[in-house]
């Protein structure tokens, strides 16, 4: 019987942010998931800093940190005062070698599952986006063809421009002329 996740995947997914076009978890969120203090997590990382290159972990810039505080409505005087560290999926995997508790192992498994689920969702969205784009293109080409058909129909229904020239002849009632030939009678007196 498989073990139930120690932390629901949805909880982890809600903590994953996109910073610098990468899906990351902040140090404070990881610490709360692992059940340790943020300072203890950062100390364990700093003791093993060679395991965390810049594509595994990076510290937010002042601008990124300011945007994050604004996004979450954190006041200037409370909460986190230091710029947090952001861990990519590879960085989170490396944390399991630094934090060696049983809870850390279980949390890491749950986090990896969350990242996998997000990749699947993003993949599905990309496929849907592509299909929508193709459908949109078809509709646009159909729209153009339908518009052309309506324009042709309107041209056929519209009266021709300018005066209409009548075909055939016209008889005027009061102007009937009869031609009576003059016959010369000879021999009759």
Residue 91's CATH number? 3.10.260
Domain assignment present for 74: yes
Domain count, the chain: 1
Domain assignment present for 19: yes
Domain assignment present for 154: no
Domain assignment present for 15: yes
Domain assignment present for 55: yes
The answer to whether the CB of 83 falls within 8 A of the CB of 61 is: yes
Cα 12 from Cα 113, distance rounded (Å): 9
pLDDT for position 56: 92
The answer to whether the CB of 92 falls within 8 A of the CB of 25 is: yes
Domain boundaries, position 22: 9-122
List C-alpha distances in Å: 26 to 15, 178, 185.
8, 111, 130
Say what the pTM is.
0.56
Going residue by residue through the chain, which has 189 residues, state the pLDDT in tens, using 9 for 90 and above.
455 567 777 788 888 888 888 889 999 988 888 888 889 899 999 999 999 999 999 999 888 888 877 776 655 545 667 889 999 988 888 887 787 777 777 787 788 878 888 778 777 777 777 777 777 777 777 777 777 887 888 777 777 676 767 777 776 666 556 666 677 667 655
Q: Which residues contact 93 (CB under 8 A, 6 or more apart)?
A: 108, 112
Domain assignment present for 93: yes
């Amino acid at each position: 019987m498989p073990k139930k996740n120690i932390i629901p995947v949805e909880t982890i997914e809600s903590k994953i942010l996109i910073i610098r076009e990468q899906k990351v978890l902040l140090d404070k969120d990881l610490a709360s998931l692992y059940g340790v203090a943020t300072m203890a997590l950062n100390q364990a990382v700093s003791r093993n800093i060679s395991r965390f290159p810049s594509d595994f972990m990076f510290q937010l810039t002042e601008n990124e940190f300011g945007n994050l505080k604004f996004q979450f409505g954190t006041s200037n005087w409370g909460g986190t005062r230091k710029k947090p560290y952001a861990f990519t999926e590879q960085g989170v995997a490396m944390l399991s070698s630094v934090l060696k508790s049983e809870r850390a192992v279980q949390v890491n498994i749950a986090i990896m599952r969350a990242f996998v689920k997000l990749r699947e969702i993003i993949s599905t969205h990309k496929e849907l986006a592509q299909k929508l784009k193709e459908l949109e293109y078809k509709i646009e080409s159909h729209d153009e063809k339908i518009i052309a058909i309506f324009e042709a129909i309107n041209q056929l229904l519209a009266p021709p421009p300018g005066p209409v020239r009548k075909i055939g002849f016209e008889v005027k009632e009061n102007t009937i002329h009869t031609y009576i030939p003059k016959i010369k009678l000879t021999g009759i007196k």
